[in-house]
Structures are given as C-alpha cells and as structure tokens.
A and B are shown apart, each in its own frame.
Chain A
Amino acid sequence: MNPRTVQTPVDSPAADSPAAAAPSADGGDVDAARSTVAQDPPPTWIEWGVRAVSFALVAALVTYVLVTGFRSNDPPTFEFDIDRAAIEQRDGSWVVPVVMRNAGDVSVTDFEADLVVAAADGSIVERNTVHVEIFGHGASVDTEFRLTVDPRAHNLAVDIASYQLP
C-alpha cells in the first residue's frame, strides 16, 4: 500500500505514525490519480456493494429488454373499447370515450384511428380521426372522439387508419 495513504483507523496503534497523525496534503492523490482502476485507499465493502448492485441493476434491465425485445414478435394488434354509456354532449359536440390498447408486442408511431358512425343501412354518417404519436406495445390510451351528430342511435366502430412500424 502506498505509505502516504491515510487508511489507518485514528484510534489504532498505528495512528501514532506520522502518516496517520499528519495525513499528507494530497493523501496519495497525485499518485493514485494516475490509476483508472485502483484507488487509494481501497474502498470499503459499502462502495464495492454499490458497484455490485449498480452492475446487477443495469445488466438485469438490459438483459430483460433484450430478451423481451427478441422473444416478442406478435405484430401490432389493437383493441378498442367504446364506452357507449359515457357518450355525452359537451361544448356543442358529441363526445365518445374510447379506450385503445396495443395488445401486440411491437410499438408503433403515428397511429391514426377513425371512429366510424354508420346508419342501419350501412351508410357512413360521420367519421372522426384521432392521432397518437407513439403507441407503445401493451399500452392503453384513453381518448375521445368528437362528433357533430348524435351517435347513440347509430352503429359505432373504430377503424385503424394507419400507423408506422419503428
């Protein structure tokens, strides 16, 4: 060990030594600064423990991301839940709450979905579009479609207009 290092407990017998009683101004810093792997004085178990935990955390997260990223190959699959009971008129528009979920294993960007309001004979009464910048896999998005007509007497369906794969 570098003799200039102040590593001796103050209350130990060696504390009477000049090095311990009067630690050098640099405490071995200048010489130790040349090393990028060893430090002076060596760390305690606390610092080693923090290093070990840090490595374990980072390695575990990276491994998990890699494993899930390559094991999961289901294409984007979207589920829509139209809450007909919660349809209401607000600020002059009819608001239809919809919960959208990306049930696949792939995130998409620039996702666009249309709420299609259709009459009983199948003719389209109105269509409204929402845009989601990034739709992560497994993510749910609560959104609202705004319509000019009362949709309660019509058939409602959500169509996927477009999205981009990453």
Chain B
Amino acid sequence: MARILAVSPLGATVRDGDGDDDDDVSPLWVVELRDLARGFCGALFLAMPLLYTLEMWERARAIPAWDIALIVILTYFGNVGFALFNGFKNRPGRRTAWLDALTAMGIGLVASAITLVLIARVTLGLPHTTVARLLLLEMVPASFGASLAVNQLGGDRRSRALRDDYSPDVRKLLATTLGALMFSFNIAPTVETQIIGNAMSWWHTTGVVLFSVAVSYLMVFIANFADSHPDGGVLRSRWVETLVAYIVSLAVSAALLWMFGYVDLTTPLHLAVPWVVVMGYATTLAGAAGRLIV
C-alpha cells in the first residue's frame, strides 16, 4: 500500500522521451504535465466527431440515471483495458492502469466540457442535470482518446513490455473488445443503424453476418496488414479465433446500442437482431483491426 501511495518530491527528475539514449532529464512534474497535455490532445482527437454529433446531445437527455452510472463504471474498466496496452504516458514504468484510467476520465471530462461550452452546446440556460448527463456521456469517448493518446499521437516505443503479461487468448479477446469499442463508438449513437436494420430482410441480415465474418478473417489472416499470430490456446485455430471474435464483436455491438438507449430487454427480437448485426459489422471490422494492432 505504501508503494502505491508513494509521492515523489517536486524536485525529482526523470528521463523523458521515447527511450533513446539521448533522452533529456526533466523535472518529474514537467513530465507529468506533458503526459496530461498528451492525454488532453488524445481525448479531443478521438472525441471531436462525437462532440459535434446531434444524437450524443439528445441521447444524453433520455438515458435513465442508473444506466448513466453503469456506463461510467464500464467506461472506467474500458479505460483500464486501454491503459494496459497504451495510455497517455510515453514510459511504461510511469503507467499505472488502474489510476491512469481515473485520470483519463478526468481529462475526458474537462476536454468535453471546454469544447461543449465553446460550441454553445452547454449554456447557462440548460438544466443542470442535462449538463451533467451530457458531460458524462461525452466523457466516454474522450477518456478513451486520452487512454489511447500515445497510440494515436505517437511517442511509444515499449508498450510491448506489457503485452508479455497476458496470454495470447486474453490479448486477442481484449484487443477485439477494445478495438470494437473504440472504432465503433462514432457510429453507435446515430440512428442510421436502426434505419438500416429496419429496412433489411432476413436475407440481408444473414448476408451481413457472413460477410462480417469473412472480412474479419480476410483482414487478420489473408491481407497481411501485419503478422498474424499463430500463437494462442483455445484461439489457435484461425476460424475459431474469427468466430469467437465475431461473438465478442456482437456483444460489444449490443452493449453500445444499449448504452445509447436503442435496445434493452424489452426490445422485440425481430428489431434488435438486425440492429445488433448491422452495428456488429462495424464492431467486427474494428475488432479485427484491434487484433492486428496487438
């Protein structure tokens, strides 16, 4: 516990940079401010499209209070996952996933608040509870952006050290989940998913399922974007990995649709299934991209 709560004096110095021998020695507090600045920029970089999205402003008003609280809790664990692989600090040694996730949420909150005030989406005339809901909802993608700042904006050379701590199966499942979550977040709040799903026949739905699985396989194992990993336990087989990843992607799809209030346990299956499959097309591609990155 003492080590967790340890504090360095403000005069402490540390190497700062990407790990080269010519890295500068800088005061630790300056390095920490640089980390925060990196996280802030990453938050804006990823969340900007959603800060400008009408559905985000509107859905924030309609989501029940308990769901908002649950979303914030899930966001924290999502940020822990992102921080394990990435983070906003360029030195793995200064990363602490469980605490950096908290900081990322604070950064996301502040970045969202500043932007929403500047673009007049948060004004003095807005009810306080609406402002609170809007900030918490916009904080989700912004905090993910902060937690992925190093990956988005460069500066990392050694995050691979972390990867050695997890089995290939866990890495793949985590990467699928986090990749799907990050890249599909821009689509999730929009109503287009429902419009498309409602217009589709069961033939269309089946076609999207098959095509999603095929493209996922193509992207990871055929297109050679990166070395595919033959390692793994249960997921050693390519097709098993692809199918399990698809199921995970569908789960992320359903979770995102629930988050924005589009589906819940009372939604009729004949509506929910096409919506989840349509959204799942995006999360599957994104999940495949996530597996390529790790």
A residues contacting B by CB (< 8 A) are 1, 5-10, 12, 23, 25-48, 50-51, 53-55, 57-58, 61-62, 64-66, 68-70, 72, 107, 109, 133-134, 136-140, 166
14 pairs of residues in contact across A and B, judged by CB atoms under 8 Å = A36-B97, A41-B28, A50-B36, A50-B106, A51-B102, A53-B106, A54-B103, A58-B139, A62-B136, A66-B65, A69-B64, A69-B68, A136-B61, A138-B129
CA distance A86 to B135 in the complex (A): 36
Nearest CB on A from B120, distance (A)? 15
B47 within 8 A of A: no
Which residue in chain A gives the minimum CB-CB distance to B2?
A38
Q: Is the CB of A29 within 8 A of B28?
A: no
Nearest CB on B from A54, distance (A)? 2
Nearest CB on A from B165, distance (A)? 6
Contact A138-B103, Cβ < 8 Å, known A30-B93, A45-B10: no
Contacting A29 at CB < 8 Å: which of B80, B91, B132? B91
CA distance A47 to B23 in the complex (A): 22
Which of B14-22, B176-184, B216-224, B278-286 is the interface stretch?
Answer: B14-22
Which residue in chain B gives the minimum CB-CB distance to A2?
B93
Which residue in chain A gives the minimum CB-CB distance to B83?
A36
Which residue in chain B gives the minimum CB-CB distance to A32?
B93
CA distance A139 to B62 in the complex (A): 12
Q: Is the CB of B127 within 8 A of A136?
A: yes
Nearest CB on A from B91, distance (A)? 5
B residues contacting A by CB (< 8 A) are 3-4, 6-15, 19, 21, 23, 25, 28-29, 32-33, 35-36, 58-59, 61-66, 68-69, 72, 80, 84, 91-99, 102-103, 105-107, 109-110, 125-130, 132-133, 135-136, 139, 158, 161-162, 165, 261
Q: Is the CB of B132 within 8 A of A139?
A: no
Q: Is the CB of B61 within 8 A of A107?
A: yes
Contacts of A134 in B (CB 8 A): 58-59, 61-62
Nearest CB on A from B90, distance (A)? 10
CA distance A31 to B13 in the complex (A): 19
Which residue in chain B gives the minimum CB-CB distance to A30?
B161
Which residue in chain A gives the minimum CB-CB distance to B139?
A58
Contacting B7 at CB < 8 Å: which of A26, A48, A58? A48
Contacts of B7 in A (CB 8 A): 42-45, 48
Q: Is the CB of A23 within 8 A of B132?
A: no
Contacts of B19 in A (CB 8 A): 25-26, 29
Contacts of A41 in B (CB 8 A): 8, 12, 14, 28, 94
CA distance A81 to B55 in the complex (A): 27
Contacting A107 at CB < 8 Å: which of B62, B110, B125, B126? B62
Q: Is the CB of A166 within 8 A of B261?
A: yes
Q: Is the CB of A65 within 8 A of B91?
A: no
Nearest CB on B from A70, distance (A)? 6
